[in-house]
Chain A
């Protein structure tokens, strides 16, 4: 069973702080990794994708990937109350197909 784990929440940070969300995966052959944000009662929306070891930055978001440690993280700088949501880590476990495994999600609350 290919698994994706995320740090348990909820995670609370003050406005303006850095929020750090972590994800580990069991399938060493996985090559594609994604972070989704899901507001309560809404559908997931893609915020970051990462395929190579290292950091990838997009505005206030930075995704970090370490394939040797089977670890991917998402940093949110200057956190805003509007960032309060559940963050889902997703791994493509079938690199020639579309078989995705999602983590259970981490709920983030940014306190004004």
Chain B
């Protein structure tokens, strides 16, 4: 089954404790993205990647890092999480601009 998977699905952590959210796709897509979704603000792109080792900033990259060492994986790294990073995070892979989203990761930073 073609899919995008994310782990963990839910995470509660404390300020400053480094964390990684994994994302993996099995559709052999070159393009992948990370978004956060907040009430009233919609989906905002954090980072995107056009291929292995090629990444670029989206609209809200501050406080996040990404890496793309393999085509199928695109982890999101929060080196020092803060409460304003509490949000619902989606990973997506895309083909011809059409994006396929993972199930989401709900992150709470206290």
Contacts and interface: CB of A to CB of B under 8 A. Distances in A.
A34 B98 contact: yes
Contact of A99 (B58, B99, B101, B102): B58
Chain B interface main SS type: strand
B50 A104 contact: no
Sorting the interface of chain B by its residue count into under 10, 10 to 19, 20 to 34 or 35 or more gives: 20 to 34
Sorting the interface of chain A by its residue count into under 10, 10 to 19, 20 to 34 or 35 or more gives: 20 to 34
A34 B33 CA distance: 16
Contacts of A36: 99
A101 interface: yes
B56 A97 contact: yes
Chain A interface main SS type: strand
B33 to A, nearest CB: 6
B91 to A, nearest CB: 9
Interface stretch (B18-26, B40-48, B79-87): B40-48
B54 to A, nearest CB: 10
A45 B104 CA distance: 12
B101 to A, nearest CB: 4
14 contacts: A42-B103, A43-B104, A44-B99, A44-B101, A46-B98, A46-B100, A88-B42, A98-B33, A98-B56, A98-B97, A99-B45, A100-B45, A101-B45, A102-B44
Interface of B: 31, 33, 35, 40-45, 48-50, 56, 58-59, 90, 94, 97-104
